Amino acid sequence: MPVWHDVTRDLVAEGKLQLVGIIEEQHPDRCRLFMQWKQMDWPILVDPLNLLEVSVVPLALLIDEHGVVREVLRDPRSAVEKLTAQLDDPPPTATQPATTLHEASATLTRVSDALLLNQKPRFDDAIRLLDEALHKNGDEGLLHFARGVVLRMRYDSPKRQEGDFAAAVSGWQRALDLNPNQYVWRRRIQQYGPRLGKPYPFYDWVDQARRDVVARGQTPVALGVEPTGAELAGPVKEIAPAATQPTEPDPEGRISRDTTPLASAEITVVPPRVRPGQAARVHIVLRPNPRSGGHWNNEGEPLVVWINPPARWIMSQRRLSVPIPPAPISDEGRQVEFELRAPPDAPPGNVRLSGYALYGVCKADSGTCLYRRTDLVAEVKVAPAR
Amino acid sequence: MNRAHLFRPAICAALCALMFAGPAAGQSPLGRVAVGQPFPELRLARLADGQPASLADFRGRRVLLLVFASW
């Protein structure tokens, strides 16, 4: 986009052209940092639900003074003449706005109103609208994709419900199954998916952007949700198991189980279904349980996760840990991500992935701090080979 | 390396292939956008302040609309 910004700078300054952006992104606020970094200040509209229904980005569209789309522009450097050329008036029929939408598009408009045009997003209303529409037409990819977007939005909010992220991924996968040519939908899964399936790291520019903005004496735009794990990781061609595996921390299961529980785990597999030889990325988030008054105890050992992969599945490391923050106690979500690859001859069906997390927690009422274990179980679906 | 200021080759290849090969299964890569037709009337939120906005707000001006993502 900075290329378009640069080649049109004079036209914009002379009042001959208006630049406008539409962002097709789960977290549009990240674009605010991008715009600040690239010193671009044209208006941006956000479209995380893909109301526009485009299946590719980026797109550059020339729109005339009547609001009529005149051309899809491809080469920024040769487009300047087109941007300023005298255009014939559009035919009168072209200036009449469309008055009817197909049903799925109309539903998306109502969902968008409930979510984006309110100070407080009405997640429940948005999901109810989508569920009602999907009940009538379960094969509409637009609706499955949007349901995934809404659920991930709720997951990133204080209104989070257990299973929101996994359900979001399922929605995106269902949408993509219905229309595998939809690259905007595909990117949403890749954002959280395994490095084997990634075309590039999605948000590796964020750190550099912040450094450059600070070097200019400015404060970088704060992000609502920091990119983590898969969103920052670059692609790889192979998942190699570590040459030496670390020692299992509790092989005999002697650490007491967190039966209260003072903390709970949420596991999401992306994508939810793999074919033989393909990889999945597993996201495990552990959070203190507010109902039982649990807090992380940060004066002990770091949270450790140990994974037992299914037989013959490859994973790079089986022991993962999360560094502890400096405060004595805290309540944040603690996340680990790892990838595992199915054997090339994996039979179709569900495969069980097990493991456990070890962590220090304190009870708010008594101040008692404990070291506890939570067992982890997830299923990965294996689809038949193509 | 910042790739966001360039048309990424893979995406561009996909876009160009789709555009020149024609839409798959009756679906256009441009979605609700059609060359020669008014831009769809969408109520979206402004990134800057969350207020409702639409492309119609720029009627009377020639617009270069960039549809993109920061990834």
Q: Provide DSSP, A196-243.
A: GG-SS-SSTHHHHHHHHHHHTT-PPPPPSS---GGGTPPP-S-----S
Q: What is the mean pLDDT of residues A263-291?
A: 95
The full DSSP string for A59-100 is EEEEE-TTSBEEEEE--GGG-HHHHHS--PPPPGGGGSPP--
What residues of chain B, 36 to 55, have a C-beta less than 8 Å from chain A? 36-48, 50, 52-55
pLDDT in tens, B9-61: 334 434 444 443 444 444 688 999 999 999 999 999 999 998 999 999 999 99
B38/A96 CB distance under 8 A: yes
**pLDDT exceeds 90 at position A300:** no
CA distance B45 to chain A (A): 6
pLDDT in tens, A232-254: 999 988 888 777 878 999 999 99
Tokens of B66: 């960039």
pLDDT digits (tens, 9 = 90+) for A343-365: 999 999 999 999 999 999 999 87
Question: With an 8 Å Cβ cutoff, are B43 and A63 in contact?
Answer: no
Tell me if chain A has a CB within 8 Å of the CB of B13.
no
- Residue whose C-alpha is closest to residue A67's, from A91, A97, A99: A97
Task: Tell me what pLDDT residue A96 has.
Answer: 63
**Residue recorded with tokens 């469309």:** A98
| Preceding peptide of A2 cis, ω within 30° | no
More confident residue, A197 or A182: A182
pLDDT of the residue at B26:
46
Distances, alpha carbon A56 to alpha carbons A31, A123, A148, A183, A346, in Å = 17, 27, 18, 5, 33
Cβ–Cβ below 8 Å for B64 and A62: yes
Report the gap between the CA of B28 and the closest CA in chain A (Å): 8
Q: What are phi and psi of A74, to 5 degrees?
A: -115, -45
According to the model, what pLDDT value does residue A93 have? 66
Q: Which residue of B28, B59, B64 is the best one to mutate when testing the A interface, meaning the one whose CB has the most A CBs within 10 A?
A: B64
Question: DSSP string covering A318-345, please?
Answer: SEEEEPPPSSSEE---EEEEEEEE--TT
Tokens of A140: 């509409």
CA distance A317 to A339: 9
Q: Which residues of B touch A52 (CB under 8 A)?
A: 31-33, 40, 42, 67
Count of CB pairs separated by less than 8 Å, A with B: 234
User: pLDDT by residue (tens digit) across A9-36?
Assistant: 999 999 999 999 999 999 999 999 999 9
pLDDT at A341: 95
Name the closest residue on chain B to residue A52, using Cα atoms: B32
Q: How far is B9 from chain A (nearest CA, A)?
A: 10
Q: Interhelix angle for A141-155 vs A103-116, to 10°?
A: 10
Query: Is this prediction's ipTM beyond 0.95?
Result: no
Distances (CA, A) of A115 to A123, A171, A187, A376, B63: 6, 18, 22, 33, 27
The mean predicted confidence, pLDDT, of chain A is 92
Contacts of B28 (CB under 8 A, 6+ apart): A55, B34
Alpha-carbon distance A38 to A75, whole Å? 20
Residue A279 confidence (pLDDT) above 50: yes
Q: Is A363 exposed, middle or buried (0-12, 13-18, 19+ CB in 10 A)?
A: middle
Q: pLDDT tens digits, residue range A215-226?
A: 999 999 999 999
Query: Which pLDDT band, with edges at 50, 70 and 90, does A92 fall under?
Result: low
Q: Cβ separation of A21 and B19 shorter than 8 Å?
A: no
B17 touches chain A (CB under 8 A): no
Confidence at residue B11, expressed as pLDDT on a 0 to 100 scale: 44
A98–B64 C-beta distance less than 8 A: no
> pLDDT tens across A167-182, in order?
999 999 999 999 999 9
Is residue A160 within 8 A of residue A193, CB to CB? The reply is no
CA distance A20 to B68: 11
Of A47, A69, A119, Cβ closest to residue B36 = A69
The whole-number average pLDDT for the span A130-146 is 95
* Amino acid code (one letter) for A9: R
Would you say A176 and A153 are in contact if contact means Cβ atoms under 8 Å apart? no
Neighboring chain A residues of B24 at a CB cutoff of 8 Å: 179, 181
Distance CA A171, CA A209 (A): 32
